Amino acid sequence: MACSCINDFKRIKSVEDLKDYEFVALVKVTSETINPPADSTPFRNAMLGFSIIEKFKGKDIANVIESNVQSSCDMGIEVGDEWVIFAKTDNGKLKISACDRDVRYRDKAGVRDWHYKRGIQELEDLRQLYSRSQKQQRDGISRAYYPDGKVEVEETYQNNLKNGIQTVYHPSGKIWGRQNFVNDSLQGKSEWYYPSGQLKGQAFYRKGFLINMSRFYYDTTITGREKEFLIREFYKTEDSLRKAHSRVQVWMEALYDYDGKIVLSREYSRAGVIQHENIYHLEDKNYTSVFYHENGQVQNIQHHKGDKERGHYHEYDWDGNPTRSWDYDENGKQINLHIPRR
> For the segment 206-263, what is each residue's pLDDT rounded down to a tens digit?
999 999 999 999 998 887 777 777 777 777 788 887 777 778 999 999 999 999 999 9
Note whether residue 154 is domain-resident.
no
Mean pLDDT of 315-329: 96
Note whether residue 76 is domain-resident.
yes
* CATH value at residue 117: 2.40.50.120
* pLDDT value for 7: 74
Note whether residue 202 is domain-resident.
no
Structural domain boundaries enclosing 69: 9-135
Q: pLDDT tens, 280-312?
A: 998 888 999 999 999 999 999 999 988 889 999
Please count the helices (runs of H) and the strands (runs of E) in the chain: 3, 22
Q: How far apart are CA 83 and CA 78, in angstroms?
A: 10
Its pTM stands at: 0.85
Specify the number of domains making up the chain.
1
Note whether residue 65 is domain-resident.
yes
Closest by Cα among 265, 275, 217, 267 to 245: 217
Note whether residue 246 is domain-resident.
no
Note whether residue 22 is domain-resident.
yes
Tell me the torsion sign for CA atoms 266, 214, 285, 17.
positive
- Can you say how many angstroms the Cα of residue 244 is from the centroid of all Cα atoms in its chain? 26
Note whether residue 157 is domain-resident.
no
Q: pLDDT tens, 127-148?
A: 999 998 776 788 999 999 999 9
Kindly give the interhelix angle for 224-233 and 238-246, rounded to the nearest 10 degrees: 110
Mean pLDDT of 34-53: 86
Closest by Cα among 341, 303, 336, 335 to 322: 341
Written as one letter, the residue type at 96 is I
